[in-house]
Amino acid sequence: MEQSRIKTFAYYLFAFWLLWEWLAPLTVVSDTKNIQVFIVFVAFYFLLELLRVPLWLSVCLKIGYLFYALNDLFFHAPFLSFQWLFMFGEEAVYHLSLIRHFQWEDMTDRFRTFLFFLMLWMMCYLVQYWLVKQKRIWLFLVMTFIYIAVLDTFTPFSGTGAIVRLVGAGFFLLSWLHYERLPAAKQPAKWLVMGAFAVGAALLCGYAGPKLAPQWPDPVAFIKSYAAEDREQDPNQFAVKKIGYGNNDSRLGGPFIADNTVVFTAEDEGTHYWRVETKDIYTGKGWDISDSVQVKTFEQENNFHQWFENSVEKKQLAAHVRMVQPASYLVYPEGLKTVHASKDIVFRMEAANEKIYPTDRESYLVPLQEYELTYEYPTFSIEKLKVSPPVTDEQILKRYTQLPDHLPKRVQELAQQITKQAATTYEKVKAIEQYFHLNGFAYETKDVAVPSRNQDYVDQFLFETKKGYCDNFSTAMIVLLRSIDIPARWVKGYTSGQWVDETDDGKDLYRVTNNNAHSWVEVYFSRIGWVPFEPTQGFNNPYEFTEAESAVESTPVPEQQQTQTAPNRTRLEEQLQQDRLSSSPQQNQERLLSIVNWKSVLSLTVSLMVLTILLYGTRRKWWPYITLLQFKYRHGGDTFVKAYDALLRHLKSCGLKRKEGQTLRQYAAYIDNWFGTNEMSQLTQLYERVIYKNEIVDQQWEEVKELWENLIKRIAS
């Protein structure tokens, strides 16, 4: 008696602990500040259950505590005055109507707390039911594991301690409950000691042992990139570094993980970068935008923002963008002229960063999935760039040559050294752009450093690490340019992506994934405008730079320019050409089909395998029912023999195997002992008559059937 009381106490202690593990992270992951009230509620609940307080009294006490806590937290009225009760009553009535209209957002904290209490009550009851009554906790424990793991992965909550506790105490609890469920005769005395020892040893080894770094790329990044758009509306909400296109660039550096998630597809007439936004303030660690509330709006046609001066040669091109997830910002090429979306949309461009938001007339964001746009595709004349006079516009100079005060001197010295030979602004820019190609800078996504506290991001890249990805190259180029007073800004967006196919109307279809997220440089030239440059190793400037015939040999820099961009363009075109030549449209289609088929076959195989594994893993649950159906309507002949044989097989698959030298009676006694019945023995006695006496059990058929079905069901449960 005494022992069973201690046991019950321990059960409740475990139940309390499990719920505590659920409540504890709330302070970190949500705005719940006061979780003590809830923890006390759980403790109070289990205490009442432990003391076996009569149901009516315990319910009264719990409700009493619930309202006391609510009053204490929110109403602050004297508890005994029952003033709060009226207040709460009114609120409850109001909230009922809210709930009816699914207006969850409008609920007050008071009512939410009340609902949370109710939910906690339910949880307490469930945990108590499973742990104390059923002595089964596996499912709940698994759920707790998942809960902690998810919180640990996606939120600032650190689940290290919780996981260790869950493994240790959780597994101990599991084995203990299993032990308790065994029939008394089968409880080996040393079970608990051995169980505790095994769990302890495993825990100690796990805790003390060396831990490998993650061997696979973090899948979380993949998931988070999906969520990126949602956060677009509130850029300050999270400071989590993301893969693909992200907002927050105030701290650059660190590794970068490949992510093939498709962001959008585009049917396009030209190749160019897809812009999302620009940034102008370099902080020494990353990029910020200057504070500006200026917003320019347009409806289909962009009639206020002139991208290039009139002197720039342009041609009108069109593109059709299809986002995978509706996005609350526009991806657009430089030179954007018109945007057509199916809805009535007002486009708002923030002057500070040239980010364009689609909104309705009340300025609410309207995420767009699909839109068509036209743009002026520029062709830059190197001639004109060269003769572009130094920038004199004070505003532009001030804003786009900003540098942090603590930028190391050597950056500027390097810039001066690189551009020593160059005469014009254009030549200087090209020299800096080329600098990275010629001085052993490497493209690297994994082993990329984060600057330490007192280190400058660009300085570290230029002089120490010399490896990085687009952010490193573009930022470094801009800082170098700015240090010699050439206005430049940082642009973020996507490259033109992967060419997929040619559409019927002669456009090229591109697929743009998170891997195509990119950042590059725009340099301001007087009388021309913002000209894109590409310092990153392995990337090519998609824009066209033309040169007057006569100037080909005049300066070395343009020549480099030409060798850099032109072959790359042709390379791409050649490849496309080759693809088109090597296969007729039909072949092309077949090839595509074969790719599709291969993929679908693969996915089919994988899902089949998963299904098979799942079915195999759960076969003990469903297979007996198949057998049940199989013999349900059969009668006579060999049915009994076959059914009994099937029963033996099911028992065997449950781990209750008959030894070779074991007679059926001995085995039946063993099974009955295991299940705590005598059904197997009864059935076996009937079976013996069939098998050892060649008797036909016709009269007892119903009995046979019932016994057999009961046993099969026992196996399945």
Of residues 94 and 674, the one with the C-beta less far from another protein: 674
Radius of gyration of the chain (CA): 36
Report the nearest approach of another protein to the CB of residue 676 (Å). Answer: 17
Rounded to the nearest 10°, the torsion over CA 473, 478, 479, 485 is 150
Report the nearest approach of another protein to the CB of residue 182 (Å). Answer: 22
Report the nearest approach of another protein to the CB of residue 668 (Å). Answer: 11
Report the nearest approach of another protein to the CB of residue 692 (Å). Answer: 5
Q: What angle do CA 175, 177, 179 make, to 5 degrees?
A: 70
Of residues 637 and 655, the one with the C-beta less far from another protein: 637
Which residue's structure tokens are 């003590």?
A: 36
Of residues 343 and 693, the one with the C-beta less far from another protein: 693
Instruction: List Cα–Cα distances, 398 to 402, 482, 485, in angstroms.
Output: 6, 10, 9
Parallel, antiparallel or unpaired: strands 274-279 and 517-525 = unpaired
How far apart, in whole angstroms, are the C-alpha atoms of residue 655 and residue 677? 18
Residues making contact with another protein (CB under 8 A)? 638, 641, 645, 648, 658-666, 669, 688-689, 691-694
Report the nearest approach of another protein to the CB of residue 671 (Å). Answer: 14
Of residues 481 and 711, the one with the C-beta less far from another protein: 711
How far apart, in whole angstroms, are the C-alpha atoms of residue 413 and residue 419? 10
582 φ/ψ angles, rounded to the nearest 5 degrees: -70, -15
Of residues 445 and 673, the one with the C-beta less far from another protein: 673
Of residues 379 and 666, the one with the C-beta less far from another protein: 666
Q: Are 284 and 457 in contact (CB under 8 A)?
A: yes
Parallel, antiparallel or unpaired: strands 356-359 and 295-298 = unpaired
Which residue's structure tokens are 């009230």?
A: 37
The angle, 0 to 180 degrees and rounded to 10, between the axes of the packed helices 664-675 and 679-693 is 160
Of residues 7 and 657, the one with the C-beta less far from another protein: 657
Spacing of C-alpha 262 from chain mean position: 14
Report the nearest approach of another protein to the CB of residue 665 (Å). Answer: 5
Of residues 577 and 666, the one with the C-beta less far from another protein: 666
Alpha-helical regions (H) of 351-462: 382-387, 394-400, 409-418, 425-438, 457-459
Report the nearest approach of another protein to the CB of residue 710 (Å). Answer: 21
First to last CA, the chain: 30
Q: Are 488 and 248 in contact (CB under 8 A)?
A: no
Report the nearest approach of another protein to the CB of residue 647 (Å). Answer: 11
Which residue's structure tokens are 């059709």?
A: 320
Instruction: List Cα–Cα distances, 399 to 60, 279, 403, 700, in angstroms.
Output: 68, 10, 10, 97
Q: Are 320 and 364 in contact (CB under 8 A)?
A: no
Contacts of 83-88 with CB under 8 Å at 24 or more apart are 88/114
Report the nearest approach of another protein to the CB of residue 705 (Å). Answer: 19
Q: Are 386 and 427 in contact (CB under 8 A)?
A: yes
Report the nearest approach of another protein to the CB of residue 36 (Å). Answer: 60
Of residues 134 and 662, the one with the C-beta less far from another protein: 662
Residue closest to 652 by CA, chosen among 670, 634, 637, 638: 670
Two tokens, residue 686 = 């009937």
3-state SS class at 584: coil
Q: Are 156 and 28 in contact (CB under 8 A)?
A: yes
How far apart, in whole angstroms, are the C-alpha atoms of residue 681 and residue 686? 9
Report the nearest approach of another protein to the CB of residue 712 (Å). Answer: 18
Rounded to the nearest 10°, the torsion over CA 47, 48, 51, 52 is -140
Of residues 540 and 678, the one with the C-beta less far from another protein: 678
Report the nearest approach of another protein to the CB of residue 664 (Å). Answer: 6
Of residues 390 and 636, the one with the C-beta less far from another protein: 636
Contacting residues for 65 by C-beta, under 8 A, at least 6 apart: 40, 41, 44
Of residues 329 and 708, the one with the C-beta less far from another protein: 708
Which residue's structure tokens are 């687009």?
A: 470
Report the nearest approach of another protein to the CB of residue 673 (Å). Answer: 11
Of residues 158 and 666, the one with the C-beta less far from another protein: 666
How far apart, in whole angstroms, are the C-alpha atoms of residue 496 and residue 543? 11
Of residues 383 and 688, the one with the C-beta less far from another protein: 688
Report the nearest approach of another protein to the CB of residue 226 (Å). Answer: 58
